[in-house]
Structure 1
Amino acid sequence: MRLYRLSAALMAAIGLLALPAAADTSKATPTAKELLAKSKPSEWRTPDPQNLLYMQLPQGRVVIELAPDFTPLHAANIRTLVREHYFDGLAIIRVQDNFVTQWGDPNDDDNGDKSKIKPLGSAKRTLAPEYTRAIDATLPWTALPDGDVYAPQVGFSEGFPVARDPASGREWLVHCYGMVGVARDVAPDSGNGSSLYVAIGQAPRQIDRNLAVAGRVLEGMAHLSGLPRGTGALGFYTQAGQRVPILSVKLASDLPPAQREKLQVLRTDSATFAAIIDAKRNRRDAFYTLPAGKIDLCNIDVPVRVEATASDKH
């Protein structure tokens, strides 16, 4: 008896095989790129240069936007440290896989030479912990509808991911990827901004409300997340040669306008940002045949772009 290999089409015709239905792309949701291309100029904001840090590494520049409305004491102290060139010549001292990259004074580490710790200058040695703030109802608030494990409410305010507890009347910045926090010792007031870290892995939400979050990286994140991991405890570098030197840290406001990054951030209270959230929650195209219908706070990136020039607008 001879056996014949039937084609998939023939097998489907005689009921032996059910071919998958072709994806219906007539109802495909627009992509974030498509939505951003149609955004209005008024939906973008230019960050205050007083709140922008330029950290120059050998690999390139990292741009950080401070969040003074959430952590005003830390933002002010960081500005003082920057203006007095505290960070210049320090280093990235820790890269813990799926957690954080941290920078500061290597001699201020547990294994450092305490006699060589860099002076803080006129910056404050201790600061009151700014882990939460009172909910500010006067500021724009874009809520997410899908709930959260760590907080009663989550959403975006002033371009940052935020969690809220209406019962206590408090809100706080969340440790999403790219958010910059203030390292500290055990004492709650020991985080003064002289050592900072950025989340480089899955959002470490368990440390929310236990450390002050001072801002987020707008540009150059790959220079921080792509570094070799430290082999010491908690990802600290054990050899001086492993550390990445910080060439300089400057405030954008202290530079001539021509030397500033022309970055813009999409307003999180804009119609385009709301459409991006909806598109990410309900994505349906040739690949995503089953939309999730939900989205996590830290799975939404607030778009950043280079400001369009006059020639780009024509």
Structure 2
Amino acid sequence: MPRLHALAALLAAALVLPLAAAEPDATPAPRTTQQVLDASGPSDWRTPDPDRTLYMDLEAGRVVIELAPAFAPEHVANILVLAREGFWDGTSVYRSHDNFVVQFGDADADDPAKARPFGNAKTQLPAEFERSAQGLAFHTLPDRDGWAPEVGFADGFPAGREGADGQAWMAHCYGALGAGRNLEADSSIGAELYVVTGQSPRQLDRNITLVGRVIRGMDLLAAIPRGPEPMGIYEKPAQRTPIRAITLAATLPEAQRERIEVLRTDTATFDAFVESRRNRRDAFYKRPSGHVDLCNIAIPTRTPDEGED
């Protein structure tokens, strides 16, 4: 009889073990990008400051640009003067370089007889390729980058830095807004601007002053017909894309401003968003990559009360 009791005890234990092993994993399932955004709260989003937001009106629609005074304060200040005084009204996109940039401003700037006056804007500025990383809140990405010791987001812009005590700079990601210059480092004033419309030309980082980025309307710029080789500059004025106006949002009544929110880049929700891009887990992806490039993280925008764009 004792042996029977012992055997019964062993059988009971054997029955319990599989049940314990079959308990569901307490670790929550990874979320997709859409699930992360759907679960976001109001505090995860921000409204762009109208005092540093430009509206570029084309015949095809409006492009919304957010300026970056934390990285290029003197250029941004000059751009605000130019916008307030209507410098770009009636100008054009006169260059569209395939897989590179579109450029806009005064196509006759090199002709003293035709060039537009700069009004109260400054005609000489220092190069603002980089700034001290000290005092700049920097949200670092987990992955390595071939163009900078550290990459992440600062003030809502993709950026690189040489550690917390080194230099920091904006990155030439898709949609970045830069100030065109000549050979001299300090030859830009923000009157001639370009937007990256192709593969991110990161070799330009720390070589040109970046002043902001497009947060809505990249589809309008990307659809502009390409100009001829080698530079994409149109040969005939009729080929250019007219710019009706470039307006500072703060100069318009609030009811006429664009309703737009941008996902903040300094929150746990943004970290989850980055992870969802690093390891895609929707039905299409069979093998998560475990890595994401800085410029592959497109910061989401949405219209308030109407969900994600």
Structure-2 residue corresponding to 1:80? 81
* Compared CA separation, residues 140 and 167, structure 1 to 2 (3 A): closer
Q: Measure the CA separation in 2 of the matches of 1:40 and 1:227.
A: 36
TM-score between the two structures when normalised by the length of structure 2: 0.87
**Counterparts of 2:282 and 2:151 in 1: how far apart (Å)?**
27
8 Å Cα contact 2:124/2:188 also seen in 1: yes
Hey, what's the Cα distance between the residues in 1 that align with 2:130 and 2:188?
14
> How far apart are 1:286 and its partner, in Å?
2.5
CA contact under 8 A between 2:32 and 2:281: conserved in structure 1?
no
**Runs of 4+ in structure 1 over 4 Å off:** none
Task: Report the counterpart of residue 141 of structure 1 in structure 2.
Answer: 138
Counterpart in the other structure of 2:21: none
Distance in 2, Cα, partners of 1:280 & 1:157: 19
* Larger deviation, residues 272-281 vs 28-37: 28-37
Residues 25-40 of structure 1 aligned to structure 2 (within 5 Å):
29-40=30-41
Taking the aligned partners of 1:84 and 1:167, their CA distance within structure 2 comes to: 38
Identify the residue that residue 233 of structure 1 maps to in structure 2.
Answer: 230
Residues 1:158 and 1:125: Cα distance change in structure 2 (over 3 Å): same
Aligned-partner SS, 1:223: helix
Q: Which amino acid aligns with 2:71?
A: F
Percent identity of the aligned residues? 50
Q: CA deviation at 1:168?
A: 6.7
Alpha-carbon separation, structure 1, partners of 2:299 and 2:201: 18
Q: 2:260 aligns with which of 254, 258, 263?
A: 263
Q: Quick one: which amino acid aligns to residue 285 of structure 1? A: D
The alignment partner of 1:146 has SS state of coil
> 1:73-222 counterparts in 2 under 5 A?
73-108=74-109, 113-137=111-135, 139-166=136-163, 169-222=166-219
User: Which protein has the larger Cα radius of gyration, Structure 1 or Structure 2?
Assistant: 2
1:34-90 deviation line (CA, Å, top 9, x unaligned):
211110101111111001000100110000000001100010000000011000011
Structure-2 separation of matches of 1:131 and 1:168? 17
* Contact 2:134–2:164 (CA under 8 A) maintained in structure 1: no
Amino acid at match of 1:178: G
SS of the aligned residue for 1:108 comes to coil
Residues 104 and 193 in structure 2, CA contact (< 8 A), matched pair in contact too: yes
User: 1: CA distance between counterparts of 2:282 and 2:186?
Assistant: 50
Q: How many residues align?
A: 281
Counterpart CA distance in 2 for 1:277 and 1:89 is 40
- Contact 1:29-1:283 within 8 A present in 2 as well: no
Distance 1:247 1:93 in 2: 14
Alpha-carbon separation, structure 1, partners of 2:70 and 2:177 = 15
Aligned residue in 2 for 1:70: 71
Structure 2 residue identity aligned to 1:44: W
CA-CA distance at 1:115 after TM superposition:
1.2
In structure 2, the CA distance between the partners of 1:27 and 1:287, relative to structure 1 (3 Å rule), is farther
Question: 1:267-291: per-residue Cα shift (whole Å, max 9, x none)?
Answer: 1011111001111112223321111
Residue 245 of structure 1 corresponds to 242
Residue 274 of structure 1: SS of its match in structure 2?
A: helix
TM (norm. structure 1) is 0.86
Kindly state the Cα deviation for residue 28 of structure 1 after the two structures are TM-superposed.
Answer: 6.4
Q: Specify the SS of the correspondent of 1:294.
A: coil
Secondary structure of 2:143 counterpart: coil
Please report how far the alpha carbon of residue 167 of structure 1 lies from its aligned counterpart in structure 2 after TM superposition.
8.3
Q: What residue in structure 2 maps to residue 308 of structure 1? A: 305
Structure 2 counterpart SS, 1:236: coil
Query: Structure 2 regions of 5+ residues with no counterpart?
Result: 1-26
Whichever residue aligns with residue 142 of structure 2, its letter is P
Contact 1:49–1:252 (Cα < 8 Å) also in 2: yes
Q: In structure 2, what residue type is equivalent to 1:152?
A: P
Q: What secondary structure, in the 3-state scheme, does the structure 2 residue paired with 1:102 have?
A: strand
**Mapped contact 1:232–1:238 kept (Cα < 8 A):** no
For residue 136 of structure 1, report the CA deviation from its aligned partner: 3.1
**Aligned partners of 1:29 and 1:285 also within 8 Å:** no
Structure-1 separation of matches of 2:80 and 2:28: 49
Aligned-pair distance for 1:116?
0.3
TM-superposed deviation, 1:158: 1.4
| Structure 1: gaps spanning 5 or more residues | 1-25
Q: Give RMSD over aligned pairs.
A: 1.7
